[in-house]
Structure 1
Amino acid sequence: MGLLEGKKLLITGVLTDSSIAFHAAKLAQEQGAEVILTSFGRQFKLTETFAKRLPKAAPVVSLDITSDDDLANLADQVRQHTDTIDGVVHSIGFAPQSVMGGNFLAAEWPDVATALEVSAFSLKSLATATLPLMSNGGALVGLTFDAQFAWPVYDWMGVAKAAFESTARYLARDLGPHGVRVNLISAGPIRTTAAKSIPGFEKMEGGWPERAPLGWDQTTAEPAARGVVALLSDWFPATTGEIVHVDGGVHVMGI
């Protein structure tokens, strides 16, 4: 019997087969879950392509996380495939390059606002849009990059991640009475499409394998995906508002 046997999950952010979201969907299916993916716009066909590369082809529903209409219609779209869900994976983030790569002081509010809306407020948007589907409780799992530090070149995306982590704590407070757990995976640097879009990303990942007590492989998302699957399972029934580090141990090192 798999770790997620019989569970039904909604997973956002599958754009390539190198992403944490794709690996989480793959592992979830291997552990017995049914998976529904989300995508939107020009990315939709790309997500459909990779959905077919999962162990079992997964349906894809439309969700632009900044669209009020898409958020309002999300539950009805999901109900075309299942009446309820047991878990949601938030793997959504975006910041204009003008607010990263050493542009912290030069960044302007409209671009910063975009980063905060898509990368932080979206967690609350996704939570409230899917709550009607989690009548029996469930788990909301998001992905972060340790926001307690000021990383090279991350700039306002780092600020957005700090807001994201704080949002998760408040959601844990407000969704707990509904039986919904809210936890995050803080992954080490992985060479995903999203990471490669960060100007100067190599400065963030530089030396990570040497600093990590357990070592670190920037080329695979599977360790982080395993963490996501674990938090979606019933093995953490009393854990919420937590950030689980899957980074080889770098977060505990002083240098």
Structure 2
Amino acid sequence: MIDLTGKVAVIFGLANKRSIAWGIAQKLSEAGATIALCYQNERLKREADALLPELKSAKAFQCDLSVDAEIESTFAAFQQEFGKIDILVHAVAYAPADEIKNDFIFTSREGFRIAHDVSAYTLIAISRAALPLMTEGGAILTLSYYGAEKVFPNYNVMGVAKAALEATVRYLAASLGPKNIRVNAISAGPIKTLAARGIGDFTKILDTVTERAPLHRNVDQLEVGGAALFLCSPLASAITGEITYVDCGYNITGM
């Protein structure tokens, strides 16, 4: 059994109980970690407040990662509240709706910028902010998707942003390795999250995974949370810069 008692885990990207961030929070909390659960804005505060009582030891923080001043103030609050960070989870991605639904050739300059800023650059920003608090080393984890490697209908610029995110994982792993901080990503199978609602024909993607994946089913949030628990624990002490698939094996299939 993995024991994270005494560890502090900061998790960005909570939207509601269907969020992958929530599945990860549950698993890390069950292992004994103290959780800082972060949501983007006031609209999502109610969701966070409703979920907090289900965790053993947790507090909620509001932080819009597209605003540098909010990142700075939030990490200052972490320092005051916890004194350190051991685990940092980045479950954040966004692209404007039109950039997702339109043909990729019509991706706008601004839509491309926003998708990469929110979905990839924010991992760099929070890793840098966390660095002074990760004095004992630690683990940083983000979430990707197979659309970073292969073309998926209606994923478009988000697939390109996820490819940038995966490259960011490798460069951060090299940058932070000397400080005993590991950086990894989970490439999760499709899950009915709030973000997934913006992807056209998402049900078709779910059905295709069920048909073709070796396990003939889709993954759920808690299974992703279990993999996250492993990657953020001492059991994964020699693993960094990796993209780990948690997709019921879909990524290994051809026809």
Say whether the fold is shared (TM-score over 0.5): yes
Counterpart secondary structure, 1:52: helix
1:21-32 equivalences under 5 Å are 21-32=21-32
Whether the 8 Å CA contact 1:144–1:161 is kept in 2: the answer is yes
| 1:184 aligned residue | 185
Counterpart residue number, 2:246: 246
Matches within 5 A, 1:100-139: 100-139=100-139
**Number of the residue aligned with 2:70:** 70
The one-letter code matched in structure 2 to 1:163 is A
Q: Which residue of 2 aligns with 1:212?
A: 213
State the number of aligned residues.
254
Secondary structure at 2:104 match in 1: coil
Aligned position for 1:144: 144
Q: What is the letter of the counterpart of residue 197 of structure 1?
A: G
- Native 8 Å contact 2:11 2:21 kept in 1: yes
> Are residues 182 and 110 of structure 1, via their aligned partners in 2, closer, same or farther at CA, if it must alter by over 3 Å?
same
Unaligned regions of 5+ residues in structure 2, if any? Answer: none
CA contact (8 A) 2:2 2:233 kept: no
Q: Tell me, yes or no, if the aligned pair for 2:188 and 2:224 is still in contact at 8 Å.
A: yes
* Aligned-partner Cα distance in 2 for 1:49–1:143: 23
- Report the CA distance shift for 1:50/1:217 in structure 2 as closer, same or farther (over 3 A): farther
Kindly indicate whether the alpha-carbon contact (under 8 Å) linking 2:173 and 2:241 is maintained by their aligned counterparts in 1: yes
For residues 196-215 of structure 1, what are the alpha-carbon distances to aligned partners after superposition, in whole Å with 9 as ceiling and x for unaligned?
12233234333101211123
Dislocated runs of 4+, deviation >4 Å: none
Report the Cα distance in structure 1 between the residues aligned to 2:214 and 2:183, rounded to whole angstroms. 28
2:60 corresponds in structure 1 to 60
Offset, 1:216: 2.1
- Measure the CA separation in 1 of the matches of 2:102 and 2:207: 16
User: Which amino acid in 1 is paired with 2:95?
Assistant: A
Matched-pair identity in % = 36
Deviations along 1:33-78, whole A, 9 cap, x unmatched? 1101112323341343243242336211232111111122232111
The alignment yields a C-alpha RMSD, in angstroms, of 1.6
Conserved in 1, the CA contact under 8 Å of 2:49 and 2:60?
Answer: no
Larger deviation, residues 12-21 vs 45-54 = 45-54
Kept after mapping to 1: 8 A contact 2:52/2:60: no
Equivalent residue letter for 2:250? V
**Structure 2 partner of 1:99:** 99
Offset, 1:2: 4.1
Other structure's SS at 1:21 match:
helix
Structure 1 residue 184, shift from structure 2 partner:
0.5
The answer for unaligned runs of 5 or more in structure 1 is none
CA distance in 1: counterparts of 2:51 and 2:25, whole angstroms: 9
Tell me the TM-score normalised to structure 2 length. 0.94
